[in-house]
Each structure stands twice: as C-alpha cells, then as structure tokens.
Amino acid sequence: MDNVSAGIRRIAITTGGGDAPGLNAVIRAAVLSACRRGWQVIGIKRGYTGLFDHTQTTMLTRASVRGITHLGGTVIGTSSKGSPFTRYEKTSDGETRTIDLTPQALEGWRELGADALIAIGGDGSLQLAHHLHLNGVPVVGVPKTIDNDLDGTVVTFGFDTAVTVATEAIDRLHSTAEAHDRIFTVEVMGRYAGWIALHAGLAGTADVILIPEIPYELDSIVRKIKERENQGSRFAIVVVAEGAKPRGGDLAVVEHARAGGNDRLGGAAERLAVDLAAATGKETRSLVLGHIQRGGMPTARDRILSQRFGAAAVRAIADGEFGTMVALDPPDVRTVPLTDAIARMKTVPLDGDTVRSIRDMGICLGD
Ligand code: F6P
C-alpha cells in the first residue's frame, strides 16, 4: 500500500443534482472497493445536506449496498435546489443579502472525519465539488447526467438508459402515428444539449430531430413532412429536445430559475405541434417523455460504466489524485482535472459523423 493510501481511513460519498440511472451502481462499486482496502464509507445524504446536518449521513457497508446495482434513484438521496453553500435572505429594506455557508460546510466536513470525498454529479454538483476542493476537501468526481453534457469524458452514466427509454417510446409511437396518419412531436430531456434527442431520434428512426445546437425553421420541417406525404407516408415522428428553439425564437421555459438554480424547460414539443398543425393541416399530437427517462433500472451498459467509475474513483483516492474526475476515454477509465469537466458544456458537434450521417440519410434537423 502506498503512502497516500495508507493515510486513508474513511471516505464519504455524495450524489447531487437530478438523479440518473446508475447512481446506486456507482455507490456499490465504490463501497465494495473501499471496504476491500479496509476503509469506512459515509454516505452524505440528499446532496450536501449531510454536511450541515449530521442526522443526514449514514454508514455505507457491504451489507447496506447489497442488491442495489440494478435500482434507479439513489439510496442516499439527492438534491437539485441550487448551491447549499449560499443562502439568499431578504433584508427589511427589500434587498437580497447573500450569505456564504462555506465555513459551516467545511466545519461539517471536518466533523465527519473523512479523508476524501467522492462527489457523483453533473455540471452543477461538480462545480460545488470543485468549490469544496478549492477549500481543502480532497475530492474525486464521478460524471453523472442523462444529458451527457459534461466535458472531459466521452460519455456520462445515465445517458444510455435515457436514450434507451426514449427510443422505446418513439418505437411505440410509430405504430399509432401510422395508424392515424398523425404527426407526433416527442419532447425529450437534455437541457441545453441535444445528445438524447440526436441518439434516440436516430435509434428510433425519427423523420425530424430538433436539437438546441441547430435552431429550427418551421418551413424546413413542413417541407420534410410534405416530401414524406408525396412518397406515401402520411405520418411523421418529430423528436424535439426540450432545449430546441425556432431560429430567432426563445427557449420554451416552464419556470424561470430562482437564484442559483436552472430554468425548468418544457413545452417545446407542444409549441411545435400547434405550429405544425396550422402549417400542414394535419392532426398533430405532442408528448413529453419527462422523468421516465431518468427513473428505473439502468441499462447493462450504464451498470457497467457506473461500476467502472465507482471502482476507479476509489483507485484515484488511493493514488492521491484529488481535484480530478474519473472519465471514460475508451478503452479505459482515467482521471481528468475536475476543471476540464466544468469549464464548458459539451454540446453536439455539428461536424461530427453522427450529425453528418443523419443528414446523409435525409433526416431533417430543422435547418
Ligand atoms: O439534467 C438532467 C435533467 O433531467 C434535464 O434533462 C432536465 O432539464 C432537468 O434535469 C429536469 O430537472 P428537474 O427534475 O429538477 O425538473
């Protein structure tokens, strides 16, 4: 055992942001790997809540992680309510005061007696993990999000499951769309990146795929639908990323962000359905797949990736590689600086072969 590894007695794990299928698989893999090294593992519950309130922590043992690999959600809970290290308070004169809770978080961290933290999260949660790291907490990140928009890794866990669920839904819509000669607009998640729409649209053989990276023109979609009609196909499947917007238009937002949070996106498919019905005269229905893309069992691919990430995070701690994130760099999982992951959002490259192949096959991307 090397010097760094010899100094580790206890580690902590947290899961932050929106849940993603595979969280429990990461937790179990990390706990088993840590236990084999003789380390204890504490679960910090509900994001970073357990740092402030130690009733929100739990010891994770071989027994407590038994049989969880295939389960959705996270056994230690999560939180996606913005930064727990900042509180906003209204003063009596109506101003908003910002209170930095970092000192309390660090005090809570010291009281836990842990030597390192595995932070499993997407961009927001890894920003918070980086903040803790800059304040002296030895952190290793694990890239989680169904959106696949984290840089530094080829893919995040959770993405494959979301694409699989969305693809199955699109497959099911095909037969009913065809039976009724209808257009269906299907809204998938992904926030400001089009990965889920692109991959599920391709796998589900959609006729039109709209992603945030390519603002769409209604006329172009209408042309594609008319072209299909002329070829004898009187129905159409349009996959719409929740962050897709018309050229020169706005994002479809259900609720604007409160301090420190994100806008809640939604309504892009319904907005387009109304426009398409008016422009084509065809019966058009919209569907929002929503959180079923995030819930339930991870696919085998996600279970494997999650376990590789969980075990690799423990190896990174043993090697003293703090301030890093484990990342898939085929054929291996390796570590990259946390800053690589959070510096910018990974969006769909428009000159990549997937987009080019989609164009080659005549699928409409809205431009
Ligand atoms: O980031 C994951 C994600 O599922 C996005 O695709 C989606 O926009 C968002 O989270 C939804 O968040 P919430 O569950 O907080 O509504």
Distance between CA atoms of residues 86 and 127, nearest Å: 13
80 CB under 6 A from ligand 1?
yes
Inside any domain, residue 53: yes
Instruction: Name the E strands within the chain.
Output: 10-15, 40-44, 57-60, 86-90, 96-100, 116-121, 139-143, 183-188, 208-210, 236-241, 253-255, 264-265, 284-288, 324-329, 332-337
Q: Return the closest-CA partner of residue 13 out of 39, 37, 294.
A: 39
| C-alpha dihedral (341, 343, 348, 350), degrees to nearest 10 | -140
Inside any domain, residue 353: no
Pick from 147, 163, 195 the residue to mutate for probing ligand 1's pocket: most ligand atoms within 8 Å of its CB: 147
Do 261 and 211 lie in one domain? The reply is: yes
Do 302 and 279 lie in one domain? The reply is: no
125 CB under 6 A from ligand 1?
no
Total length of the chain = 367
Tell me what pLDDT residue 294 has: 97
81 CB under 6 A from ligand 1?
no
Inside any domain, residue 39: yes
Annotation marks residue 353 as catalytic: no
Q: Looking at ligand 1, which atom is closest to the CA of residue 190? A: 6
Handedness of CA 32, 319, 117, 195 (dihedral sign): negative
Domain boundary pick from 229, 261, 295: 295
201 CB under 6 A from ligand 1?
no
pTM, rounded to two decimals: 0.96
Q: Coil, strand, or helix at residue 312? A: helix
Mind giving me the DSSP string for 32-87?
A: HHHHHTT-EEEEE-TTTHHHH-GGGEEEE-TTTTTT-TT-SS-TT----SS-TTEE
On whether the CB atoms of residues 200 and 239 are closer than 8 A, the answer is yes
For ligand 1, the distance from its centroid to the CA atom of residue 191, given in whole angstroms, is 7
Instruction: Kindly give, in sequence order, each residue whose CB lies less than 8 Å from that of residue 91, ignoring residues fewer than 6 positions away.
Output: 97
Tell me what pLDDT residue 3 has: 55
146 CB under 6 A from ligand 1?
yes
For ligand 1, the distance from its centroid to the CA atom of residue 167, given in whole angstroms, is 18
Adjacent-strand bridge partners of 146:
none
For atom 10 of ligand 1, the residue with the nearest CA is 18
186 CB under 6 A from ligand 1?
no
Distance between CA atoms of residues 192 and 241, nearest Å: 8
Distance between CA atoms of residues 46 and 260, nearest Å: 17
37: buried, middle or exposed (CB in 10 Å: 19+, 13-18, 0-12)? middle
Q: Supply 47's token pair.
A: 């994001």
Inside any domain, residue 364: no
For ligand 1, the distance from its centroid to the CA atom of residue 109, given in whole angstroms, is 28
Inside any domain, residue 347: no
Inside any domain, residue 59: yes
Q: How many domains does the chain have?
A: 2
Domain boundary pick from 260, 280, 295: 295
CATH number at residue 139: 3.40.50.450
Give the β-pairing of 10-15 and 324-329: unpaired
334: buried, middle or exposed (CB in 10 Å: 19+, 13-18, 0-12)? middle
What single DSSP character describes residue 323?
A: T
116-121 β-sheet, strand order: 57-60, 40-44, 10-15, 116-121, 139-143, 324-329, 332-337
Q: Which domain holds residue 30?
A: 3-157+298-342
Do 14 and 150 lie in one domain? The reply is: yes
Inside any domain, residue 193: yes
Catalytic pick among 19, 123, 147, 207: 147
Is the N-terminal amide bond of 84 cis, ω within 30° of 0? no
Tell me what pLDDT residue 66 has: 98
For atom 16 of ligand 1, the residue with the nearest CA is 264
What single DSSP character describes residue 257?
A: P
**Buried b vs exposed e over 190-223: b needs ≥16 C-beta within 10 Å?**
bbbbbbbbbbbbbebebbbbbbbbbebebeebbe
Tell me what pLDDT residue 250 has: 96
Do 142 and 25 lie in one domain? The reply is: yes
Distance between CA atoms of residues 276 and 355, nearest Å: 24
Do 202 and 189 lie in one domain? The reply is: yes
Do 302 and 199 lie in one domain? The reply is: no
Per-residue pLDDT of the chain (367 residues; tens, 9 = 90+): 555 676 999 999 999 999 999 999 999 999 999 999 999 999 999 999 999 999 999 999 999 999 999 999 999 999 998 899 999 988 888 888 999 999 999 999 999 999 999 999 999 999 999 999 999 999 999 999 999 999 999 999 999 999 999 999 999 999 999 999 999 999 999 999 999 999 999 999 999 999 999 999 999 999 999 999 999 999 999 999 999 999 999 999 999 886 667 899 999 999 999 999 999 999 999 999 999 999 999 999 999 999 999 999 999 999 999 999 999 999 999 999 999 999 999 999 999 999 999 999 999 999 9
